[in-house]
């Protein structure tokens, strides 16, 4: 697979900008009347672009349909930080530990992982 993205025209490309999607792979399923894109992973510019350097994040979207039913769930930034979105809960100190249980499930906990 090769994804290629620029701004401008094919004859005169210009530099990509922060938050530009530069490629994605989509999953589509037949719902009885049409194919619906329910999830995808993609690559998004997540920093200032300079000659020889395009900071790129890997993003994962899942859901049940286009629009409100599909959302960004996880991001691995160009600096290697992994962000899991929408962990259900409100934490009194404003942050949480990210834990993995014996079944391999990732969850958030306000106290240190067991």
Contact between 94 and 108 under an 8 Å Cβ cutoff? The reply is no
* 46/98 same-domain check: no
Kindly provide the b/e burial profile for residues 32-62, where b requires at least 16 CB atoms within 10 angstroms of the residue's own CB: eeeebebbbebbbbbeeeeeeebebbebebe
Query: Does 37 map to a domain?
Result: yes
> What does the pLDDT read at residue 111?
78
Give yes or no: residues 18 and 68 share one domain.
Answer: yes
Q: What are phi and psi of 98, to 5 degrees?
A: -105, 120
Q: Are residues 15 and 55 in the same domain?
A: yes
For residue 71, tell me if it sits in a domain.
yes
Question: What phi-psi label fits residue 104: left (phi over 0), alpha (psi between -120 and 50 degrees) or beta?
Answer: left
Residue 33 lies in a domain: yes
* Pair (59, 108) in one structural domain: no
Expressed as residue numbers, the domain containing 101 is: 87-114
Number of domains within the chain: 2
| pLDDT averages per 10-residue partition of the chain, 114 residues | 92 96 91 88 96 96 74 87 71 73 80 79
């Amino acid at each position: 697979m090769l994804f290629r993205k620029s701004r401008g025209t094919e004859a005169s490309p210009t530099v990509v900008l922060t938050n530009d999607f530069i490629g994605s792979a989509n999953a589509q399923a037949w719902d009885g009347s049409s194919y619906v894109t329910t999830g995808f992973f993609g690559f998004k510019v997540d920093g200032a672009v300079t000659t020889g350097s395009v900071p790129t994040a890997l993003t994962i979207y899942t859901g049940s349909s286009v629009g409100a039913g599909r959302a960004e769930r996880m991001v691995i930034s160009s600096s290697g930080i992994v962000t899991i979105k929408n962990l259900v809960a409100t934490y009194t100190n404003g942050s949480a530990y990210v834990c993995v249980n014996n079944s391999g499930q990732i969850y958030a906990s306000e106290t240190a992982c067991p």
